[in-house]
Structure 1
């Protein structure tokens, strides 16, 4: 497939400042390093379960506005709280600097590493069908992968205890991406970038978040079914949940309308929404969805609707202290392609993600009846704007308390 043309630079800001012609180094490195609901009237205010101030609409709205107003804050934010089948949407700032359009519930966006939960859903549904076992190894299912990796199990891949080296940290992978951000990778050969490397540690001994893990998960799903991962997503996830605006594209274009993602380390902020194609992140970070459909997915995947009780028990066996990337609200623990977030107000299950232009949180109550999605249109992680991440996690926990109150 020919390499698509580079996207045109974003238009000048309203103040007439000229956008830099070149692409920022921060934006170029972002993917290589990191990736890799129906509106309703607000629920009434009530006490924080921890005994704090009421979590009413005005207070939550102010927190979003303050987050956007910070010098390092995102251009925009959208948070959706779903309870009892009703969704209340909060927004601040803009989803498109050029037009001033706010972010909206049905706007497309990159969900970044929340995509790992989708690959988890595919794999665990295949476990329910008996086509995969959590104890299946790379050697048994993918014998052409390096012999040094053959003892790694599906369970270890899903829990990031495999020891597989991260392909997205490979100097060769980064060099290709920086030279041509629209390069079309063969997604099924991404592990080739680290095929000559040994495991980082004995499988199961340690936890280390790796984009390679979910590539291997998708390859195992393809191997046992003889079907493409994209088709498995449709059959096992999209159709059962009625997801019509969720996809795994190969190229760099986003479906319209979409929340624009920005590199805010430059002035004016640079639109990086379509800077990278998704072939280089695939099952580890390539999913495109909307805030509404992200909520539908996480309620099913983190709740009891999608998996059998037996498989869900395995999914929700958590390793304390192991964090998602970036860390979610409260204290984190790692399950199988899902994380437990223990906040001061209670427990949520979910996943986070970050990539160029986007940072995501999707979380649900264990019974799958309530969810929070929280999306900002700039990237933040422990290595990229850690102060913003700290403030973001505080606001996310306050929204989690609003979700959990009155249970």
Structure 2
């Protein structure tokens, strides 16, 4: 999660809206499988956008062995009434952490990085007290690194200039004077600092920028055509507009903050279609060799932020969601204007992306969050049904 952004302006408040309805179901080109709506699922999406405090729009994309179905309710743009589409760009928030995992684990598979490599080895300029933290601990949020996104100085700088371009090397400087929160490896605590350090280690080990590594190890390999890590605040057109409440009014916050403020922790822009392809690969058995995948899927108690459906457990930059209908691997995220959940079946043949264009959290609106999480679990049931 990179949800602190929503609090950085005095006018910020929880994202609340009454949605406008627009629904559809489509099938991928070339597929002979007709879209069969799950019983009541479309109605649940409609109810979510109409619930007080619900998002303006929701889009759920399913991909199953070459066939794709799309269900949606509400709008991607309140100004035009346009519905969300699977090729629309959007901020994926902390789902970006799974991309940093894909880079790091790909490098581990090649022997360029080791899961037990330390911060001291690759990032000696960081505090010596952080030096024993390993790549494995960073990926699993057991590092103890203080979260730079919660630092008052970072918040003040972003509030003063929400479009300021932060250098990746500077992000951890906001907490460089702070000690570790606990002995590394002894507990789970989600931290945005972890994935910044992961990306910096990947850069140090390869001599290439993180953006170059994403392109070569992830985008091109999987075939992601509309996924990128920008440094600024602008969005590719067309995009799903994100909304939040400002001064009691619903406001488009899609371009309110610079993506460089979250970088490898939450700055990636993608589409529902690309996210489906990504999580099917990263969550499936063929992206990584078996020994690295075994490490990736060594789960411990720990919830993604926001919590995904069912019982959550934390692997290496991936989460396991055990629902009443079965188990999926994936990631969640939220930031100003967006909340995301993407997951795949363990065999990688089925995937889903569940996107809403408002930031919905358990703390700011527990009722809407509970509704959304229940619908997410029903989406998993629809994904896994035979």
TM, length-normalised to structure 1: 0.87
Aligned partner of 2:337 among 339, 348, 357: 357
Distance 1:149 1:268 in 2: 44
Distance 2:323 2:237 in 1: 35
Distance 1:368 1:266 in 2: 44
Aligned partner of 1:66 among 28, 47, 61: 47
Q: Is the 8 A contact 1:74 1:264 kept in 2?
A: no
Distance 1:305 1:38 in 2: 23
Q: Gapped runs of 5+ residues in structure 2?
A: 1-8, 16-26
Distance 1:266 1:62 in 2: 31
Distance 1:65 1:42 in 2: 21
The reply to whether residue 370 of structure 1 matches residue 350 of structure 2 is yes
Q: Is the 8 A contact 1:264 1:378 kept in 2?
A: no
Aligned partner of 1:15 in structure 2 is none
* Structure 1 SS opposite 2:261: coil
Aligned partner of 1:190 in structure 2 is 171
Alignment of 1:33-112 (within 5 A): 38=28, 42-44=34-36, 55-56=38-39, 59-112=40-93
TM, length-normalised to structure 2: 0.92
Residue 385 of structure 1 and its aligned partner are, at CA, apart by: 1.8
Aligned partner of 1:228 among 204, 209, 214: 209
The reply to whether residue 279 of structure 1 matches residue 278 of structure 2 is no
Distance 2:383 2:35 in 1: 10
Q: Is the 8 A contact 1:80 1:373 kept in 2?
A: yes
Distance 2:291 2:364 in 1: 39
Aligned partner of 2:314 in structure 1 is 334
Q: Is the 8 A contact 1:117 1:338 kept in 2?
A: yes
* Structure 2 SS opposite 1:128: helix
The reply to whether residue 345 of structure 1 matches residue 325 of structure 2 is yes
Distance 1:204 1:117 in 2: 20
Aligned partner of 1:131 in structure 2 is 112
Distance 2:199 2:364 in 1: 28
Aligned partner of 1:289 in structure 2 is 270
Aligned length: 365
Q: Is the 8 A contact 2:138 2:198 kept in 1?
A: yes
The reply to whether residue 24 of structure 1 matches residue 11 of structure 2 is yes
Residue 383 of structure 1 and its aligned partner are, at CA, apart by: 2.2
Alignment of 1:205-220 (within 5 A): 205-220=186-201
Q: Is the 8 A contact 1:72 1:264 kept in 2?
A: no
The reply to whether residue 118 of structure 1 matches residue 99 of structure 2 is yes
Aligned partner of 1:248 in structure 2 is 229
Q: Is the 8 A contact 2:14 2:364 kept in 1?
A: no
The reply to whether residue 201 of structure 1 matches residue 182 of structure 2 is yes
* Structure 1 SS opposite 2:260: coil
Aligned partner of 2:19 in structure 1 is none
Residue 180 of structure 1 and its aligned partner are, at CA, apart by: 1.1
Residue 265 of structure 1 and its aligned partner are, at CA, apart by: 6.5
CA RMSD of aligned residues (A): 1.6
Per-residue Cα deviation, 1:365-401 (whole angstroms, up to 9, x for no partner): 0000001100000001222222211111100001110
The reply to whether residue 405 of structure 1 matches residue 385 of structure 2 is yes
Distance 1:359 1:393 in 2: 11
Q: Is the 8 A contact 2:12 2:246 kept in 1?
A: no
Q: Is the 8 A contact 1:27 1:356 kept in 2?
A: no
Per-residue Cα deviation, 1:158-215 (whole angstroms, up to 9, x for no partner): 0000000000000000001111111111122100000000000000011100000000
Residue 323 of structure 1 and its aligned partner are, at CA, apart by: 0.3
Residue 43 of structure 1 and its aligned partner are, at CA, apart by: 4.3
Per-residue Cα deviation, 1:126-148 (whole angstroms, up to 9, x for no partner): 00000000000101111111001
